Structure 1
Amino acid sequence: MTSENTSDVPGANESFEAPLARGAGDEPPAGAALGTGAAAALGATGSHLRRGPLRAGDRVQLTDIKGRHSTIVLEAGGQFHTHKGYLRHDDLIGQPEGITVANTGGVQYLAFRPLFNDYVLSMPRGAAIVYPKDAAQIVIQADIFPGARVVESGVGSGGLTLALLNAVGDQGYVHSIERRDDFAAIARGNVENFFGGPHPAWSLSTGDLADVLPMTEEPQTVDRVVLDMLAPWENLDVSADALRPGGVLIAYVATTTQLSRLAEAVRDTGRFAEPYAWETMQRGWHLEGLAVRPEHRMMGHTGFLLTTRRVADDTVIPERKRRPSKGAYPAATDEETWTEDDFGVRQPTDRKLRRTRRAVGQARDAN
């Protein structure tokens, strides 16, 4: 839930044309013995589309000599046109990744399959995404492990969902809950395009977390709950009911006002340990001979993350010893209504949502 301008983010303005199926891992050396785990990894959902020579249907990222990226989907007999000539797709099909190809105008491109970061920043969006730098923090700080049972609320365009599915693997479980049908459809399209089809570990529900979660998950069976929503403090009790003791709750919020209210609500429940909050900023570096310096632009504030752990029932949490400063706790405003407009969140138009749904193969009449 962020309003950051993506124009300065590498790959953010790339076009998205067709499905991308991805997995993880490399081919083992010839003759190498495979254990059960290694054999399973080779068959992970979408992994076969991240290995081997380039094939028709693969997504390929072309980088020119100025570092500009263009993403294409390979088609037999297809062409990639620019004002400086065109590139034949057949020159890439059957070739390994990492080759250099030239178009008819002599412009050279380095060709690779896009990485996870490239895909997320260029995929069609209905809602704002959780950026890869924050998704990486969520996966590590919340300890999203292979086989984990994870509930995610606030799916948006599916960027974080992809990271969660990559982390839990085929033997895990991710239940994504989204209030808006349009956003859920766009997320479904992006996830299926990325993995080359439905993911066996993913379940997607439409509705409010408070209504859906008690009906779909048994109490104390969920390992992790991830909240990306306007008022996550309203769903702390239902999240605590689903989490097992020791489970992790992690929330993504955009403003300090939300962060403060969420932290105090976590403490007031008496069902969670002391919360921890932080933000992550990413700055690239210019590398040219001895001219090594920070880039002039960076990916700054996108959102805050807060994490806490579910304590066992009937646990009395030790009282904090530090003394808050005077005025740290203003009068309560429980009756206050929170809207997206309060935080400058721009809602996509119906026209944009229809266009985005078509781009990911989830048009309204294609159900």
Structure 2
Amino acid sequence: MGILKNIFSQKPEKYEQKGDTFSNNSDWGRAKIEYENALSKLEKASPGYDESEVRLQGKLRHAKEALALEHSKTGETLMEQEYYDDARDLFQLAIDLTQDPELIATIENRILEMERLTARDIQTDISDLQVNDEGVSDEREDEYFMALCGTLPEEIREVYFSYGELFKSGYVALNRGEFVLAADYFARSMKENPSPDSFIPLELATAYMNLEKFDEAHQLLETFLQYHPEALPGYQLLCEVFWETGAFDQAESLLADCPDELKDSSEYYLLRGEAMFQSGNHSEAASFYQDFMQEYGWNEPIAKALARTFETLGDFENARDMYAKIMDQCSSCHTRIDPLIKRKFADISFDLGQHSSAMLEMYLSLAQEDPENNSFYFQRVSRIYASLGNKEEARRFQLFAQQAQNGKE
């Protein structure tokens, strides 16, 4: 049994790849979970601070920041619609996720604005203040559930609200990474909500996937897609089941049989390209992504997937150039450059021998934007200074790197 467990147990790289897929699809909540799983597996497999941990921490930080921004935007919308309690819950979730001081300040201003809008004399009976710990816990779970559902499409959100307490507890547990607990709650919720066209099997299958119960997830998803043939997340999750079990041809057949209306979406193209990538057809995936962009124009998620595929192929010059194009698009649109993309560009450029003052400035910028990985960035700055002949600055930043590393231990 131990041998089988080692064969089928997912390695950190598998979780990271799934996180990358969710990240490319802007599914930041699930990306966050997968990166956290990858870090947990990595710590168990090879405890100690290394470049893999640095990379995963950067991806996790990016997913958290993107999720925080998503919650903040949804909170703004709810605030405009005067759903102040729901907006406040989302704002608080965003604050818990982000390390961006500007975003925190903006959210705190919105919360203060809501307080002014809803200010009134409140006379609370003493008995109302005597809330037991269980009541507080239930209230927090309600708030978290409402905030999570706030990011869903309205029609799905209303359905999720209707499923009851067991589903709510399962959904909260799932998003906290408590997969055994989530699976138990969802299984019981399915008995409470026996309708064959419910969305509960999709969430239960997600929990089973994270528990590596692929057969159970497969059965649930097959049935789910019979009732929801238009639900792309169902295809995505079932493809993951096939990839994990090596059934790559079945994944291709599944995607080929998708309804035509799904095949026109960029999300479908991403999934098709990922299927090629997962099956080892990296050159085919790169050509597929390039053909899409030639026909339909610029698409950032496709560009990210293409850059990643170039990296896997060892075509680092093209990967670097694609990351540069992504950064250029952000600059031209006056949007913040994703630190993960900047990090990718910097690391590939560094490995290709570009040890210029421009690269030095980029790593110093990353040290400010991604302080959790300061040690790594200061090491790179030290090496660049050394290659430029500035031994004094090289020693200084090597000391900074050691201090930052000691602060993590």
Same-fold call, TM cutoff 0.5: no
Higher relative CO (CA 8 A, sep ≥ 6), structure 1 or 2?
1
> What is the TM-score of this pair, normalised by structure 1?
0.30
TM-score normalised per structure 2: 0.28
Structure ranking higher in helix proportion: 2
